[in-house]
Amino acid sequence: MDIHAIFNTLPHRYPFLMVDRILEIEPGRRAVGIKNVTINEPYFTGHWPGEPVMPGVLIVEAMAQVAGMFLLAGTQVGDQQAFLGGIDKVRFRRQVVPGDQLIIEAELIKRRGSIGKVQTVAKVGDEIACQGELTFALVAADSETSA
C-alpha cells in the first residue's frame, strides 16, 4: 500500500502521519510497514539539539498506525476508525535517529468484537528498537468520540 492508500485509511496527516508504506498485509494475521526517519521532521529541532533522537512516544505512534492499518484491512474505506485504547509491555531497545528506517511488524494476538489486541515490533535493520502490545477499539467513522 502506498501513501495514497494510507491516506484513504488513516485520518492522520503531516506532521503526525508516521507510516510511509505498508509492505505486507494479511487481513486477520499480520502487517509490515515502514517509517523513514529523516532529519526534516519537526520534533528533531528540540529532541535533542545536537543529538537528534526520535521520541519513544512517536515510535509507539508509528507502531499504532501500522497496527491500525492492519486492523482496518478488509473493511470498507471510511467505515471504521481504530482508536488506541491501551499500551502494554512496551520496551525500548535502541535509539532511533535520522537516517534510520523503521520496519514495523504488527501481528494479531486476539480480536473480540470491536476490540483488537496486537503485538508490535519496530526494528532498524535486524535490531529491535521498540516492542509492545497495543489494544484498539474499532468504531464507526461517524461515531461521536471524546478521544
Question: Within 13 Å of residue 98, how many CA atoms lie on the same side as its CB?
Answer: 14
For 31-57, letters b (16+ CB in 10 Å) and e give bbbebebeeebeebeeeeeeebebeee
Q: ∠ CA 88-128-93 to the nearest 5 degrees?
A: 65
Active site amino acids: 47
